[in-house]
Amino acid sequence: MPSPEKWNTLTARMEKLGLLPDDITEKFIRGSGSGGQKINKTASCVYLKHEPSGIEVKCQAERSRELNRYIARKELCERFQEIILGIKTKRQQAREKVRRQKRRRSRRSKNRMLDDKSKQSDKKQLRRKPGSSD
């Protein structure tokens, strides 16, 4: 359960962004996924919808309803920043970093890398004992 200080900082952040509590529709619904009988009986999944912007958040990260409420509101703030204000959040920056890492190398950098590898290979060839051939 989040501490009162965390709730206060979150409400202050929501007010700063212009997310008013009256504009948010909150529902508690039954969760889905693994968990057996308990997950089918309790309504610990939190659904939030910000009416003016139409942003929807559904959170079932934890077993506690209060903790899910906190996480959902935090997620709503992040999405609001991403979509409406255009500010890149940490999650979006991490996504872009992974995309850059997976991107294909340019022809020039690929050739440079291959040249470095061949130079390293030549160095290792010179370190071998004389007469050993593989």
Give me the helices (H) in 24-102, please.
37-41, 65-80, 90-102
Is residue 92 within 8 A of residue 75, CB to CB? The reply is no
For 1-20, the pLDDT digits (tens) are 889 999 999 999 999 999 99
A 10 A CB-CB count for 14 gives 18
For 57-74, the pLDDT digits (tens) are 999 999 899 999 999 999
Q: What is the mean pLDDT of the chain?
A: 90
Express as a percent the part of the chain with pLDDT over 70: 98
Average pLDDT over residues 99-116: 94
Closest to 6 in 3D by CA, of 88, 73, 89: 73
Residue spans per domain, the chain: 4-90
| CATH match of 4-90 with 3.30.160.20 | yes
76 vs 36: which has the higher pLDDT: 76
Cα separation, 65 vs 38, in Å, equals: 13
Is residue 75 within 8 A of residue 55, CB to CB? The reply is no
Average pLDDT over residues 87-116: 90
Work out the pLDDT band at 133, boundaries 50, 70, 90: low
Q: Looking at the predicted structure, is the pLDDT value of residue 119 above 70?
A: yes
Q: Looking at the predicted structure, is the pLDDT value of residue 82 above 70?
A: yes
pLDDT of residue 134: 58
Q: Looking at the predicted structure, is the pLDDT value of residue 30 above 80?
A: yes
